[in-house]
């Protein structure tokens, strides 16, 4: 996609610090890192988000994610790291070409999701499980309620 920043990095039209690439995916350093070494793994074929990704493409992305995570852990001597993906603007996605973040973590680095955890009562937990299970019989749908670019 011509106006996609990650497609343009893959096509070498925009510079990036490329860590690794193969036929399936490319890994680059994030330009605005949570911690130095924060990296992205991006499938070569453009797709908007996780729901548009094929299982084959996801397998390739995960293989690269594991290899790059291992290199980051060893090179920075880490005790831990996060891998995550934002899907949909409401979930924090800002580049609409699927990607996985790999972020180094450090003791007392003060990075936290501030969460107010809910509790289910017995009927609610069954209700939510049934709602989700009903849709598992259907094929994966790339449509989300939010209109994302």
Binding site residues, Zn ion, CB under 5 A:
1, 4, 6-7, 46, 97
1 binds, among ligand AMP, Zn ion, none (CB under 5 to 8 A by kind): Zn ion
What span, in angstroms and rounded, lies between the C-alpha atoms of 27 and 18?
A: 6
Q: How far is the CB of 11 from ligand AMP (least distance, A)?
A: 13
93 binds, among ligand AMP, Zn ion, none (CB under 5 to 8 A by kind): ligand AMP
28 binds, among ligand AMP, Zn ion, none (CB under 5 to 8 A by kind): ligand AMP
Q: How far is the CB of 17 from ligand AMP (least distance, A)?
A: 8
Closer residue to ligand AMP in complex, CB, 94/123 = 94
Task: Summarize as ranges the residues that interact with ligand AMP (CB under 6 A).
Answer: 5, 14, 16, 28, 30-32, 40, 86, 92-95
Closer residue to ligand AMP in complex, CB, 91/125 = 91
Q: How far is the CB of 6 from ligand AMP (least distance, A)?
A: 8
Which tokens sit at 111?
Answer: 């990075």
The answer to whether 109 touches 74, Cβ cutoff 8 Å, is no
How far are the Cα atoms of 34, 47, 49, 114 from residue 89, in angstroms, in the given order?
A: 19, 15, 11, 19
Give the residue from 88, 112, 109, 97 showing the smallest Cα distance to 28. 97
92 binds, among Zn ion, ligand AMP, none (CB under 5 to 8 A by kind): ligand AMP
Closer residue to ligand AMP in complex, CB, 39/129 = 39
The answer to whether 65 touches 20, Cβ cutoff 8 Å, is no
Q: What residues contact residue 29 under an 8 Å CB cut-off, 6+ apart?
A: 16, 17, 19, 37, 38, 39, 40
User: Which are the catalytic amino acids?
Assistant: 99
């Amino acid at each position: 996609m011509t106006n996609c920043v990650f497609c343009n990095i893959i096509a070498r039209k925009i510079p990036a610090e490329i860590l690794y690439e193969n036929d399936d995916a490319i890994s680059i350093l994030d330009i605005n890192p949570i911690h130095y070494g924060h990296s992205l793994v991006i499938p070569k074929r453009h797709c908007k988000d996780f729901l548009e990704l094929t299982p084959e493409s996801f397998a390739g992305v995960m293989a690269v994610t594991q290899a790059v995570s291992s290199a980051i852990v060893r090179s920075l001597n880490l005790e831990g790291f996060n891998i995550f993906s934002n899907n949909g603007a409401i979930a924090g996605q800002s580049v609409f070409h699927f990607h996985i973040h790999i972020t180094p973590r450090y003791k007392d680095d003060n990075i936290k999701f501030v969460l107010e955890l809910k509790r289910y009562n017995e009927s609610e937990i069954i209700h939510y499980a049934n709602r989700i299970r009903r849709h598992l019989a259907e094929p994966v749908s790339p449509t989300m309620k939010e209109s994302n670019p």
